[in-house]
Structure 1
Amino acid sequence: MKNQIKTVVLMGILSAVLIGVGGALGQGYLILAAVLALAMNVGAYFFSDRMVLSMHGAREVGPHEAPDLHRMVDELARNAQIPKPRVFIMDDPQPNAFATGRNPAHGVVAVTTGILGILDARELRGVIAHELAHIKNRDILVSTIAATVASAVTFLANAAGFISAFAGGSQDEGEEGLSPAQALVLALVAPIAATLVQLGISRAREYMADRTGAEISGDPEALARALEKLEQGAQHMPSPSARPATASLFIVNPFAGAGSILQLFSTHPAIPERARRLRAMNVRAQDKGWGRSPYALPYSD
């Protein structure tokens, strides 16, 4: 609930930035930017799954090719009360996974060959549950809306930049509208602000998917351990197919080994914090009677 509220608040802030920038430039600019951003992102919403799967060379596998993986996806989809998604495998040594699809009826779960080799059945089950949580929570829709608003802000900021470049010092004192200096500041600040809010929404949705996934699997500890293994894998096994444009889709950042960046500019929350929250859930899981699978047994160290 906390991260759901955070998403709503951040979406409100992002919308306020859009309205504020549009109001500064004029209603005509606001409408044009909104239409352009909406058209661009609606296309991405409907066709992003095909594009992403193609970019990463993912191939669909049937139950006869990956029976254990299909049984796991089928069981967890029933737990999540969503249609069973299609299952894809990427020939990539880096252990990772992502989900896509514009709604639960068009869901896709994709895993790398690397993740199949590094995680045990219980940990993989936790990862699959996390990805199904993204589908259940309609995170593709949420991210598309956020991207649409952020894109509109960027379009408007670019318009402000043109105003700054071509208006020069011609604006008379007292004339309505932005001064060149104000337009330049707007062009610089607005896209950064929109991006920071959009990234905050992405991190909030990851926390939500962790929690929902742990509830679907009934096994928060499994996902916590999987995340720790996947982070190590991302640091030591570069992905040949990783793309910055799709990094936010994956359960862990595929560029984790490329160097540290400010968490404020990250699409993913820090793995230690994600694991800490999951283990806090694990304490409560036993009281709630979770553990609807033979995998969900206490780890013995």
Structure 2
Amino acid sequence: MRTRFAPDRGLTNRMVVTMFLLGLLYVVFVGVLIALGVRALTVLVVAGLLLLVQYFLSDRIALFAMHGREVSPEEAPELHGMIDRLCALADMPKPRVAIADSDVPNAFATGRNQKNAVVCVTTGILRRLEPRELEGVLAHELSHVAHRDVAVMTIASFLGLVAGLMTRFALYSGLGGRRGNGQGGVPIGAIILLVSVLVYAVSFLLTRALSRYRELAADRAGALLTQRPSELASALTKISGDMARIPTRDLREASAFNAFYFVPALSGGQSIAALFSTHPSLERRLQQLAGISAQLGRG
């Protein structure tokens, strides 16, 4: 479906390149397994079933895991009103609307396509943000829906899932045979384990890089839709600052869902841990929004 969200060629190119590399990695991985004489069919079937469950039930799983519940326009008229306006502006179907009872100020969108999408905000973010700031956050989340980011990330994570299952398969299935006829050959199980770990690590880094860029793309699309990048920047700054006042225990519980959230509950900082982050740094996001403000003549 077409929407009025600003097109992002960078996002499209990054998706194409990442999916190509993941596909290439997948082909090499399966080729190595076949060369080693491993019957990977069972692992592929299990991984495929898990992928289908995640793909088709992502909205229900996410709401259940994050304790979100759908709300009607009568229960949350202002929230519904904002989403109604943004969807009309973006020319896209209205997703379901949900609220999660959590003091962690955040929001997320999930669902495989626009017809099955849900946008959820926490009670914490509703208490902390001004209406225009919240509108910027909602525009960001609706951009994820419009770009089908959940479906893309689900498919992108498939190879990592297969490699992870193969690692466990190698560890627990007793693949202790050796290559060659002698006793000094390399155990096949060790080779499978090494290859699986390597493939998992590479696919993990590729999907995390894609996740960081999709957040930047959603910031850009949301800011251009509302024409108020400063409000989104204000929301980012306010939420990131308020995270410091949330109990660490609550943040650790929420951090398991960082890939879904507007702002990560716990961040890895500016060290090498940034390579493993699902989100770009706050400074990088604010820098981009400042550039958009300058382009719009509002810097």
- TM-score, scaled to structure 1: 0.84
Share of identical aligned residues, percent?
A: 35
Partners of 1:61 and 1:88 within 8 A in 2: yes
Cα deviation, residue 265, structure 1: 0.6
Alpha-carbon distance in structure 2 between the residues aligned to 1:259 and 1:272:
10
Aligned equivalents of 1:218 and 1:172: distance in 2? 70
Task: Select which of 86, 91, 94 maps to 1:84.
Answer: 94
Q: CA deviation at 1:24?
A: 0.7
Shift of 1:255: 2.4
Check conservation: 2:170, 2:190, Cα contact below 8 A: no
Q: Which residue of 2 aligns with 1:68?
A: 78
Q: Secondary structure at the match of 2:211?
A: helix
Partner of residue 94, structure 1: 104
Asked if the contact 1:203/1:268 (under 8 Å) is kept, the reply is yes
Pick aligned residue for 2:18 from 10, 18, 42: 10
Aligned amino acid, residue 285 of structure 1:
L
Q: Name the CA distance, whole Å, in 2 between partners of 1:188 and 1:241.
A: 26
Aligned partners of 1:187, 1:61: CA distance in 2, in Å?
43
Q: Which runs of 4+ in 1 moved over 6 A?
A: 257-261
C-alpha spacing 1:232/1:249, structure 2 compared with 1 (3 Å): same
Distance of 1:262 and 1:252 partners within structure 2? 16
Superposed CA offset, 1:12-71 (max 9, x none): 111222111111110874554433222111111111211221222212222222222111
Partner of 2:286 in structure 1?
A: 275
**In the alignment, does 2:239 pair up with 1:230?**
yes
Matching of residues 131-280 of structure 1 within 5 Å:
131-159=141-169, 161=171, 166-167=176-177, 169=178, 171-172=180-181, 182-238=191-247, 239=250, 242-256=253-267, 262-280=273-291
State the alpha-carbon separation in 2 of the partners of residues 184 and 163 from structure 1.
Answer: 11
Aligned partner of residue 119 in structure 2, secondary structure: strand
Matching residue within 15, 24, 27 for 2:32 = 24
RMSD: 2.8
Contact 1:234–1:253 under 8 Å retained in 2: no
Which residue of the partner structure matches residue 39 of structure 1?
Answer: 49
Cα deviation for residue 112 of structure 1 reads: 0.9
Q: 1:202 to 1:29 in 2, by over 3 A?
A: farther
Q: Is this contact kept in 2: 1:33–1:153, CA < 8 A?
A: no
1:53 to 2:71 alignment: no
Q: CA deviation at 1:153?
A: 2.7
Aligned length: 285
**Structure 1: 5+ residue stretches without partners:** 287-297
Structure 1 residues 100-131: Cα deviation after superposition (integer angstroms, max 9, x where no partner): 12211122111111111111111111000000
CA distance in 2, matches of 1:189, 1:23: 15
In the TM superposition, residue 199 of structure 1 has moved relative to its aligned partner by 1.1
Contact 1:231 1:256 in 2 (8 A): no
Matched with 1:130 is 140
Q: CA deviation at 1:87?
A: 1.4
Deviations 1:219-268 (A, max 9, x none): 22211121111112223214379445422100011224999871001111
Distance (Å, rounded) in 2 between the aligned partners of 1:105 and 1:259: 38
Q: Distance in 1 between matches of 2:41 and 2:16?
A: 23
- Aligned-residue offset at 1:160: 5.0
Partner of 1:119: 129
TM-score, normalized by length of structure 2? Answer: 0.85
Contact 1:129 1:217 in 2 (8 A): yes
